[in-house]
């Protein structure tokens, strides 16, 4: 760990001194001394490092800003580069391959780290909190079970992995107006009139908290799909951002970079990485109106999510629970450059397609991209289709993802900083005394489980329901609440052959040419010193070949230990 760590020096009022010692006392003994905190974990989807206000954005996020300004903002917090792996790591406290979620729940391979169906040797936070007497609730995106049919195996659905109540989706993406696999507990349901998924997640969370019995602690996991494609948002919300992005992506990146520096999120040693090679200069973009509309809708999606977080905060205040609720906000990966048809010219619909065709899925839409909306309008995608309504299927592409990940390089799926570095906000009025502090220590999604059970005085088990449990990999962040170090130095990544390892300030990273077409000679290691060069602009591999060899060998050791190898990609 470098010497920068603790500009955060956040103090903590100990509800019970023993709460800070993982598993140091029995739950019943801790109960007799202090009220256990509620735990609220919020995860957003495909949002970049600089996309919320207190991390440099122009997007209106007053509620997240409030949490950040009254809590702790971590600046070197990491995810695992993709949806399913990040969710697995968050909920189990181990590397995703150890939980057998090395790729996506929709892709299943025979290799142990890539079976992509959350295994039973990894215990979830919900299972631990449920066993400890907490009520456990979940709303939003699951994406951890390979079986997603009403008649199939439901053993890896949320209710069967520790949650008392669940409302959300099982798959990874879908329409915000008619999401695929919309589920209440274990039953598929259809959306109601004027349905918008982000609001439904927020409002159901409010309902669960409002109905929660007083005097009993709860663990609540809120997994938004905002702002994952498709770009869908109510028109009145999009209108708020009309004209906001007319300056274009080049100017906007520069403005965000300066704000990040002013906020103290990045230091003077950080430089703004160059515009991605696949992105033209804004002055050379031929379809500015279409591009602007994409970013306006994306911003509105985050705005609506923040409004919902505000409603959740309000119900906690109404019930007198905000003071003793530890809230964690984070993101599953960096901004997403996946095209979703946006790089191909729009194909004009045929006359037949323009005729309204009421859908046949009366109960639930099981399609990620249905051919028609529930109202019968043809769903369109391609360069030129204006984002926002249900009949548009659009992503915001590398152009705006490059802005989202300011000041970093690359995107979701990749292990450069743009794909794996995202915010972490921790807010807990009863436990964090200093307000608005910034913490520079290395931290990771897998640290959230040990942190949360540490606060609740729950011991991590060696066995659960007759299964031997993988030792926890994450570290409790609770010492950081008191301005102390938590002894984190080494981190490891692999996704689709994209690789990285960080040890102290040094990071070794490699990006493959094509997803799932990896071979050993296809990519070259890059070496960066992130203490001097946080945005990975100066590759030191040729200057320090010994360090490359040392860290590459360490990566190989970790890959075998955590089941990231053998790879399934070459078969």
Are residues 277 and 206 in contact, defined by beta-carbon separation less than 8 angstroms?
Answer: no
Cβ contacts of residue 326 below 8 Å, gap of 6+? 37, 38, 39, 40, 426, 427, 428, 431, 452, 455
Place of tokens 């609001």: 199
Is the previous residue joined to 407 through a cis bond, with omega within 30 degrees of 0?
yes
∠ CA 165-171-174, nearest 5°, is: 110
Please state, in angstroms and rounded to a whole number, the distance separating the CA atoms of residues 550 and 284.
44
First to last CA, the chain: 39
Please state, in angstroms and rounded to a whole number, the distance separating the CA atoms of residues 535 and 400.
18
Tokens of 344: 């191909």
Please state, in angstroms and rounded to a whole number, the distance separating the CA atoms of residues 103 and 84.
7
C-beta atoms surrounding 211 within 10 Å: 10
Please state, in angstroms and rounded to a whole number, the distance separating the CA atoms of residues 479 and 568.
39
Are residues 223 and 138 in contact, defined by beta-carbon separation less than 8 angstroms?
Answer: yes
Give the residue from 95, 91, 127 showing the smallest Cα distance to 114: 95
**Backbone dihedral angles phi then psi of residue 555, each to the nearest 5 degrees:** -60, -45
Please state, in angstroms and rounded to a whole number, the distance separating the CA atoms of residues 278 and 284.
13
The one catalytic residue in 54, 97, 103, 143 is 143
Please state, in angstroms and rounded to a whole number, the distance separating the CA atoms of residues 470 and 274.
41
Q: Is 526 helix (H, G, I), strand (E, B) or coil?
A: strand
The one catalytic residue in 83, 220, 270, 452 is 83
**Backbone dihedral angles phi then psi of residue 55, each to the nearest 5 degrees:** -120, 25
Q: Write the DSSP symbol of residue 336.
A: -
Please state, in angstroms and rounded to a whole number, the distance separating the CA atoms of residues 100 and 322.
36
Please state, in angstroms and rounded to a whole number, the distance separating the CA atoms of residues 299 and 58.
9
Q: Is residue 452 among the annotated active site residues?
A: no
Please state, in angstroms and rounded to a whole number, the distance separating the CA atoms of residues 107 and 153.
16
Q: Is residue 143 among the annotated active site residues?
A: yes
Cβ contacts of residue 354 below 8 Å, gap of 6+? 378
- Residues 285-321 as b/e (b if ≥16 CB within 10 A, e otherwise) read beeeebbbbbbbbbbbbbbbbbbbbeebbebbeeeeb
Are residues 370 and 379 in contact, defined by beta-carbon separation less than 8 angstroms?
Answer: yes
Task: Give me the residues paired with residue 493 across strands.
Answer: 500
Give the residue from 339, 386, 401, 383 showing the smallest Cα distance to 242: 386
C-beta atoms surrounding 283 within 10 Å: 8
Give the residue numbers annotated as catalytic, written as ranges.
83, 143
């Amino acid at each position: 760990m470098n010497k920068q760590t603790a500009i955060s020096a956040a103090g903590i009022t100990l509800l019970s001194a023993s709460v800070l010692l993982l598993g140091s006392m029995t739950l019943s003994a801790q109960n007799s001394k202090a009220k256990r905190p509620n735990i609220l974990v919020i995860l957003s989807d495909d949002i970049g490092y600089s996309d919320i206000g207190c991390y440099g954005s122009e997007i209106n996020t007053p509620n997240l800003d409030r949490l950040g300004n009254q809590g702790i903002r971590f600046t070197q917090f990491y995810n695992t580069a993709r949806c399913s792996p990040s969710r697995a790591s968050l909920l189990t406290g181990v590397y995703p391959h150890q939980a057998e979620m090395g790729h996506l729940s929709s892709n299943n391979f025979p290799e142990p780290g890539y079976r992509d169906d959350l295994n039973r040797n990894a215990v979830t936070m919900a299972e631990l909190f449920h066993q400890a007497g907490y009520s456990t609730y979940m709303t939003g995106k699951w994406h951890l079970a390979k079986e997603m049919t009403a008649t199939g195996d439901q053993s890896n659905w949320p209710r069967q992995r520790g949650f008392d109540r669940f409302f959300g989706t099982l798959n990874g993406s879908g329409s915000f107006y008619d999401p695929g696999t919309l589920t209440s507990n274990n039953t598929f349901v259809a959306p109601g009139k004027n349905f918008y998924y982000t609001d439904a997640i927020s409002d159901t969370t409010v309902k669960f908290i409002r109905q929660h019995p007083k005097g009993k602690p709860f663990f609540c996991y809120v997994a938004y799909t905002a702002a994952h494609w498709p770009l869908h948002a109510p028109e009145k919300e999009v209108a708020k951002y009309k004209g906001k992005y007319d300056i274009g992506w080049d100017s906007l990146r520069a403005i965000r970079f300066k704000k990040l520096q002013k906020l103290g999120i990045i230091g003077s040693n950080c430089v703004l990485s160059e515009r991605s090679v696949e992105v033209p200069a804004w002055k050379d973009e031929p379809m500015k109106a279409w591009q602007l509309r994409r970013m306006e809708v994306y911003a509105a999606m985050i705005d609506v999510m923040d409004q919902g977080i505000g409603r959740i905060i309000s119900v906690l205040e109404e019930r007198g629970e905000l003071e003793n609720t530890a809230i964690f906000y984070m993101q599953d990966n960096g901004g997403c450059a996946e095209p979703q048809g946006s790089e191909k010219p729009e194909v004009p619909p045929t006359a037949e397609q323009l005729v309204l065709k009421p859908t046949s899925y009366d109960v639930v839409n099981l399609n990620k991209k249905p051919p028609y909306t529930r109202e019968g309008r043809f769903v369109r995608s391609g360069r030129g289709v204006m984002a926002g309504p249900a009949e548009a299927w659009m992503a915001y592409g590398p152009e705006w993802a490059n802005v989202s990940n300011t000041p970093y390089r690359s995107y979701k799926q990749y292990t450069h900083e743009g794909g794996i570095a995202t915010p972490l906000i921790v807010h807990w009025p009863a436990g964090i005394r200093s307000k608005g502090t910034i913490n520079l220590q290395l931290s990771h999604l897998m640290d959230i489980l040990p942190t949360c059970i540490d606060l609740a005085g729950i011991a991590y088990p060696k066995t659960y329901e007759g299964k031997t449990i993988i030792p926890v990999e994450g570290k409790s962040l609770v010492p950081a609440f008191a301005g102390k170090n938590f002894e984190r130095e080494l981190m490891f990544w692999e996704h689709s052959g994209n690789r990285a390892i960080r040890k102290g300030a040094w990071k070794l990273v490699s990006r493959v040419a094509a997803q799932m077409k990896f071979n050993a000679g296809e990519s070259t290691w890059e070496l960066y010193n992130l203490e001097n060069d946080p945005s990975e602009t100066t590759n030191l591999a040729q200057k320090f070949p010994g360090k490359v060899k040392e860290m590459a060998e360490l990566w190989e050791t970790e890959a075998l230990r955590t089941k990231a190898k053998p790879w399934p990609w070459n078969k």
